[in-house]
Amino acid sequence: MKLQYLGHSAFLISDSQNHTILIDPFLTGNPLAPVKANQVKADYIILTHAHSDHIGDALNIADKRKTTIICVVELASIISKNGYNTHPLQIGGAFQFPFGKVKFVTAFHGSSTSNGLYAGLAAGVVFKVDNKTIYHCGDTGIFGDMKLIGEIDKIDVLLIPIGGNYTMDIEDAVRAVSLIQPELAIPMHYNTFSLIRANPQEFVDKIAANGFHGKVLTPGEELQLS
């Protein structure tokens, strides 16, 4: 499995069967995005919520004939009205896709479209690809049940926001890592805007002091997971 960071909270994952899974593809308007939307293709797009810096370029990238957009029920209803293939999930719900199982979990955050439509609950995502379990927290503050999420599914890779203001800051993200206890933690959702300035190496150093492994990915960098 290959995981590529596309800046902000966007990741592109490719599995051993050549499925491509794109998460929160905010590229256009993202000063840190390493690629343009027309350079990205995806078999599946997972959306944690409807804010513009997460739904991003999903509808431009999605092929209406081939791409499945995975999101909460209310957002799926909005998107499907425009002719896109969607698979609706809800918090606690899971489904086995050809690339692996996807489960939506709690995220403490809002969700509405750019034109103000209510888009259901924000979500985090726990999904399995090539025998690896990844937890993308979405936009969220820290909450105690992160410990339970880490107990139910042993997390190999944690994708966690550190930028503060709209989500956890570094200090709370460090506490969250101790709750979840992943094999590897990768910071996200920082430095895209002035309000979410953060030093990702500080996060990595602080979790290392607690016995956890972290890695900073620069936008465009790929990580091979075997």
Per-residue pLDDT, 2:
96
Per-residue pLDDT, 108:
98
Site of tokens 């990768």: 186
Write out the DSSP string of 58-123.
HHHH--TTT-EEEEEHHHHHHHHTTT-EEEEE-TT-EEEETTEEEEEEE--S--B-TT--B----E
Helices (H) and strands (E) in the chain, counts: 6, 13
Would the pLDDT of 67 be above 90?
Answer: yes
Tell me the pLDDT tens digit for each residue of 105-162: 999 999 999 999 999 999 999 999 999 999 999 999 999 999 999 999 999 999 999 9
Q: Alpha carbon 140 to chain centroid distance?
A: 11
Would the pLDDT of 203 be above 80?
Answer: yes
CATH number for 2-218: choose from 3.60.15.10, 3.40.50.2300, 3.40.50.300, 2.60.40.60: 3.60.15.10
Per-residue pLDDT, 226:
77
Per-residue pLDDT, 90:
97
Q: Taking the model in full, what pTM does it have?
A: 0.97
Distance of CA 112 to CAs 44, 101, 122, 138, 188, Å?
21, 26, 9, 14, 21
Would the pLDDT of 213 be above 80?
Answer: yes
Average pLDDT, the chain: 97
Per-residue pLDDT, 64:
94
Any long-range contacts for 100-103 (C-beta under 8 Å, 24+ apart)? 100/15, 100/127, 100/128, 100/129, 100/130, 101/127, 101/128, 102/46, 102/70, 102/126, 102/127, 103/127, 103/153
pLDDT band at 54 (very low <50, low <70, confident <90, very high): very high
Tell me the pLDDT tens digit for each residue of 1-17: 999 999 999 999 999 99
Per-residue pLDDT, 63:
95
Per-residue pLDDT, 93:
97
Per-residue pLDDT, 156:
98
Q: Over pLDDT 90: what percentage of the chain?
A: 98
